[in-house]
């Protein structure tokens, strides 16, 4: 017999970052409606929050061309299964979290089956490939966006969008003194935090640049400690005298006087803890050429995009030179400098612009409204 329970919501995430956001949504849904069943692709955090996992995220997310090719059959099989269940009336509503290439297809299939869709963390079409807008329109009923300018951008293009605030505001961030004590760093140290990325390919490209800048800051006495936010399995050759601190990125960022970071969410995390940063990213030459053609945003760092101006220095136009990055970093390692104090003030403004805590609860409310409709 086909199960057509109206109490079941599909919540779908396809990578580890989405698993964290999805866990908060599942918890908010079940806190409001304990009778709801939540199932879908997800990870361990979503499972702990109460999701019945249809496919683990580690079987979906991939890094590198060969890995992506190997996961294609899994994605197609999962898509067919979820679409079939939607047509059978298994789901009353759906929340799709980021992961655009898969969710653009899944969202369209769900809506064709009569399942209303809320999309949480919108694809960054304002940055590149806005031609995907028609696909997004067909894949979602409502967008829950996490950057303040996105609601008006999507709304002007015919997509109902609500700014729910950024989920980073719901994370507990350590104070600098607390983070330094946890890492056994002197309270008066000038600490350079180094964040070359989490994925193997981007670490391989960024690490030589980030390492060289860190060594230069130590050799000049600009920094007295340089701490690398490493991953559990990351490879960081010729690191000494830099210290690799694995799997404690929040503490490294909070403890740092200033940090060298790749572009991405880390820049917004820096705004949350008030740590000045320099952003650098070394792409492959082919990726760089493609980015030059398709990038429509003025900046690559999210803090600059939210602020609408150059709050933090960015380096991504090839060639990215260590001496240029080092020149931008030097004044930020002096906590009394005008550059350091000015960036901290600007980052506080960015943090305020990210809204209020409670993003997941607002997404849950949007999903429940779709359920009621």
- If one compares 189 and 14, the residue with the highest pLDDT of the two is 189
pLDDT tens digits, one per residue of 302-344: 999 999 999 999 998 778 899 999 999 999 999 999 999 999 9
Are residues 118 and 267 located together in one domain of the fold? no
Are residues 210 and 343 located together in one domain of the fold? yes
Give a yes or no: residue 152 inside a domain: yes
Give a yes or no: residue 1 inside a domain: no
Look at residue 60 in the predicted model and tell me its pLDDT.
72
Give a yes or no: residue 170 inside a domain: no
Give Cβ neighbours of residue 40 (< 8 Å, ≥ 6 apart): 10, 11, 12, 13, 51, 52, 53, 54, 82, 94
> Residue 56 — pLDDT band, cuts 50, 70, 90?
confident
Are residues 155 and 251 located together in one domain of the fold? no
Are residues 126 and 208 located together in one domain of the fold? no
The answer to which of 149-153, 245-249, 280-284 has the lowest mean pLDDT is 280-284
Summarize the confidence of residues 86-107 as an average pLDDT. Answer: 95
Summarize the confidence of residues 11-20 as an average pLDDT. Answer: 91
The answer to which of 5-9, 60-64, 317-321 has the lowest mean pLDDT is 60-64
Give a yes or no: residue 43 inside a domain: yes
Are residues 230 and 327 located together in one domain of the fold? yes
Give a yes or no: residue 48 inside a domain: yes
> Residue 290 — pLDDT band, cuts 50, 70, 90?
low
The share of the chain scoring above pLDDT 70, in percent, equals: 91
Give a yes or no: residue 52 inside a domain: yes
> Residue 127 — pLDDT band, cuts 50, 70, 90?
confident
- If one compares 200 and 24, the residue with the highest pLDDT of the two is 24
Are residues 239 and 310 located together in one domain of the fold? yes
Residue 301 DSSP one-character state: S
Summarize the confidence of residues 52-74 as an average pLDDT. Answer: 65
The answer to which of 42-46, 292-296, 304-308 has the lowest mean pLDDT is 292-296
Are residues 120 and 105 located together in one domain of the fold? yes
Are residues 322 and 228 located together in one domain of the fold? yes
Look at residue 128 in the predicted model and tell me its pLDDT.
75
| CATH number of the CATH domain containing 227 | 3.40.50.2000
Classify 92 as helix, strand or coil: coil
Number of domains in the chain: 2
Distance CA 178, CA 255 (A): 8
> Residue 106 — pLDDT band, cuts 50, 70, 90?
very high
> Which structural domain, as residue segments, surrounds residue 33?
8-165+358-372
Are residues 212 and 310 located together in one domain of the fold? yes
Are residues 102 and 208 located together in one domain of the fold? no
CA 367 to chain CA centroid, nearest Å: 22
Given a cut of 80, whether residue 141 has pLDDT beyond it is yes
Look at residue 288 in the predicted model and tell me its pLDDT.
54
> Residue 7 — pLDDT band, cuts 50, 70, 90?
confident
Q: Is the four-CA dihedral 109, 111, 116, 119 of positive or negative sign?
A: positive
Given a cut of 50, whether residue 79 has pLDDT beyond it is yes
Look at residue 64 in the predicted model and tell me its pLDDT.
40
Given a cut of 70, whether residue 285 has pLDDT beyond it is no
Look at residue 55 in the predicted model and tell me its pLDDT.
87
Starting at the edge strand that comes first in sequence, how are the strands of the sheet with 243-246 ordered? 243-246, 225-230, 191-195, 258-261, 277-280, 314-315
What mean pLDDT is reported for the chain? 90
Tell the residue number behind the tokens 């590149």, with chain if given. 128
The answer to which of 100-104, 130-134, 212-216, 366-370 has the lowest mean pLDDT is 130-134
Classify 27 as helix, strand or coil: helix
Are residues 138 and 46 located together in one domain of the fold? yes
Give a yes or no: residue 69 inside a domain: yes
The share of the chain scoring above pLDDT 90, in percent, equals: 76
Residue 199 DSSP one-character state: S
Are residues 223 and 158 located together in one domain of the fold? no
Give a yes or no: residue 171 inside a domain: no
């Amino acid at each position: 017999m086909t199960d057509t329970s109206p109490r079941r919501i599909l919540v779908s995430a396809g990578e580890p970052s989405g698993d964290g956001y999805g866990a908060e949504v599942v918890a908010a849904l079940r806190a409001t409606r304990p009778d709801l069943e939540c199932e879908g692709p997800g990870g361990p955090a979503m499972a702990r929050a109460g999701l019945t996992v249809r496919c683990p995220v580690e079987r979906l997310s991939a890094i590198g061309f060969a890995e992506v090719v190997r996961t294609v059959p899994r994605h197609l099989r999962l898509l067919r299964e979820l679409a079939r269940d939607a047509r059978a009336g298994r789901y009353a509503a759906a929340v799709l979290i980021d992961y655009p290439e898969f969710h653009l297809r899944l969202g369209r299939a769900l809506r064709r089956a009569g399942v209303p869709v809320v999309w949480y963390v919108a694809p960054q079409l304002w940055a590149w490939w806005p031609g995907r807008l028609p696909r997004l329109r067909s894949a979602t009923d409502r967008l829950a966006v996490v950057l303040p300018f996105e609601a008006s951008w999507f709304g002007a293009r015919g997509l109902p969008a609500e700014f729910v605030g950024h989920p980073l505001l719901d994370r507990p961030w350590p104070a600098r003194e607390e983070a330094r004590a946890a890492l056994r760093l002197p309270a008066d140290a000038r600490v350079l935090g180094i964040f070359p990325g989490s994925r193997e390919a981007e670490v391989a490209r960024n690490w030589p640049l980030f390492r060289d800048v860190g060594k230069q800051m130590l050799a000049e006495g600009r920094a007295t400690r340089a701490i690398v936010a490493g991953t559990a399995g990351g490879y960081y050759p010729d690191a000494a005298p830099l210290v690799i601190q694995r799997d404690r990125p929040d503490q490294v960022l909070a403890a740092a006087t200033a940090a060298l970071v790749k572009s991405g969410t880390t820049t917004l995390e820096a705004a949350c803890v008030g740590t000045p940063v320099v952003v650098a990213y070394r792409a492959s030459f082919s990726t760089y050429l493609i980015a030059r053609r398709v990038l429509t945003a003025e900046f690559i760092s999210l803090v600059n995009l939210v602020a609408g101006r150059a709050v933090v220095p960015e380096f991504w136009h090839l060639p990215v030179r260590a001496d240029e990055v080092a020149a931008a970093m030097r004044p930020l390692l002096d906590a009394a400098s005008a550059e350091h104090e000015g960036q901290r003030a600007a980052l506080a403004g960015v943090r305020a612009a990210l809204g209020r805590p409670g993003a997941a609860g607002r997404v849950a409310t949007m999903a429940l409204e779709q359920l009621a409709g």
